[in-house]
C-alpha cells in the first residue's frame, strides 16, 4: 500500500476524497463511498437542510465516527457569501475544516481568484482550516499557501467536465512551488485520470461527478480507489525516463553468438 496521507495534521490511509452530490439515490451514494475507501467526504453546505431532524439528509447518513466531514462553499460567487457559508458550516457541523470555493463564472465554474484570496485570508484569520479550490496556477497556489491555507486544490479541468488533467505541466510546477499538500480537484472523468494525477506527485484526488454520474457508480468508486493507489505507488517507485529510441530490456553483453 502507498504511504499514508497527512492533511491538516491528521493522517489518512486513503488519498481519495469523494463528494456526495448527484448520485441516483442515497443508498448508491453510501455504497459508492464505501467502495471508494475514502475517509474524507465533502458536502455542499448550501444544499443541506442543517435543521432536518429526520436523519434522511446526507449529514444524518454519514457515520462521522468513520469519516471526516469536509463542508464546502459550492455555489458561492462572492467572498462574503463564502465566508458566511463557512461560518454557518462551522456552527452547524462543529468543524473548522472548510473546502473554500468562490466561483467567478456560472458557465465555466472557474474560481474568482481575487474573491478566493480575500475569503481565504478572512477564514484563516478566523481559525478555519482552509482547503481552497483554485485554478491550476502556481502563483495563486503560492499566495494561498502564504495566506495559511492547509492545502491547495487546483482543478484538473472544469468541474464536472470529465476531461482529466488538461495541464500536467502546470501541476508539476505547482508541486515544485508549494510545500502544502496538493489535491487535484475537478475534471477527473475516469480511473486513468486519477492515476495520472497521482503519478505526477499530487498528494490526493478529490472527485464527485466521475463516480456519481457513472453508469455504475459503485464500480467506478472502486476503480478510482485502485487507480489512486496504483498512481501513488508508481510515483513512489519512480518511473523510467522517456527516450526517443529503444533500449534493449535484455542485455546483449555475454549473449551466446550464433552463425559463422
**Residue 225 to residues 14, 29, 220, Cα–Cα distance (Å):** 8, 15, 9
User: 106 and 139 in contact (C-beta within 8 Å)?
Assistant: no
**Residue 16 to residues 103, 120, 223, Cα–Cα distance (Å):** 23, 23, 11
Q: Which three cell numbers stand for residue 83?
A: 465566508
Catalytic residue among 99, 143, 219, 243: 99
Helix (H, G, I), strand (E, B) or coil at 150: coil
DSSP string of 187-227, one letter each residue: ---SHHHHHHHHHTT-SEEEESHHHHTSSSHHHHHHHHHHH
Owner of C-alpha cell 462551522: 90
Element (H, E) at 153: strand 153-154
Output b/e per residue, 55-94; b: 16+ Cβ within 10 A.
eebbbeebeeeeebbbbbbbebeebebbbebbebbbeebe
Long-range contacts of 85-88 (CB under 8 A, 24+ apart): 85/45, 85/46, 86/45, 86/119, 86/123, 86/128, 87/126, 88/45, 88/50
Q: Is 219 a catalytic residue?
A: no
- For the annotated catalytic residues, the residue numbers are 99
Amino acid at each position: 500500500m502507498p504511504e499514508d496521507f497527512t492533511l491538516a495534521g491528521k493522517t489518512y490511509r486513503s488519498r481519495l476524497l469523494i463528494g456526495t452530490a448527484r448520485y441516483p439515490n442515497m443508498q448508491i451514494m453510501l455504497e459508492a463511498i464505501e467502495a471508494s475507501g475514502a475517509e474524507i467526504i465533502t458536502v455542499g453546505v448550501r444544499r443541506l437542510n442543517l435543521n432536518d431532524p429526520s436523519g434522511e439528509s446526507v449529514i444524518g447518513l454519514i457515520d462521522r465516527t468513520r469519516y471526516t466531514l469536509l463542508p464546502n462553499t459550492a455555489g458561492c460567487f462572492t467572498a462574503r457569501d463564502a465566508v458566511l457559508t463557512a461560518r454557518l458550516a462551522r456552527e452547524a457541523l462543529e468543524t473548522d475544516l472548510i473546502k473554500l470555493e468562490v466561483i467567478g463564472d456560472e458557465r465555466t465554474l472557474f474560481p474568482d481568484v481575487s474573491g478566493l484570496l480575500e475569503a481565504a485570508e478572512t477564514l484563516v484569520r478566523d481559525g478555519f482550516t482552509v482547503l481552497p479550490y483554485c485554478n491550476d496556477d502556481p502563483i495563486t497556489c503560492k499566495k494561498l499557501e502564504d495566506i495559511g491555507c492547509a492545502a491547495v486544490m487546483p482543478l484538473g479541468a472544469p468541474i464536472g467536465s470529465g476531461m482529466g488533467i488538461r495541464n500536467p505541466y502546470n501541476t508539476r510546477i505547482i508541486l515544485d512551488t508549494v510545500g502544502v499538500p496538493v489535491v487535484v480537484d475537478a475534471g477527473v472523468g475516469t480511473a486513468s485520470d486519477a492515476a495520472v494525477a497521482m503519478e505526477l506527485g499530487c498528494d490526493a484526488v478529490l472527485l464527485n461527478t466521475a463516480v456519481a454520474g457513472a453508469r455504475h457508480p459503485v464500480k467506478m468508486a472502486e476503480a478510482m480507489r485502485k487507480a489512486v493507489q496504483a498512481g501513488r505507488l508508481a510515483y513512489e517507485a519512480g518511473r523510467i525516463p522517456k527516450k526517443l529510441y529503444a533500449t534493449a530490456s535484455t542485455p546483449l553483453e555475454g549473449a551466446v553468438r550464433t552463425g559463422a
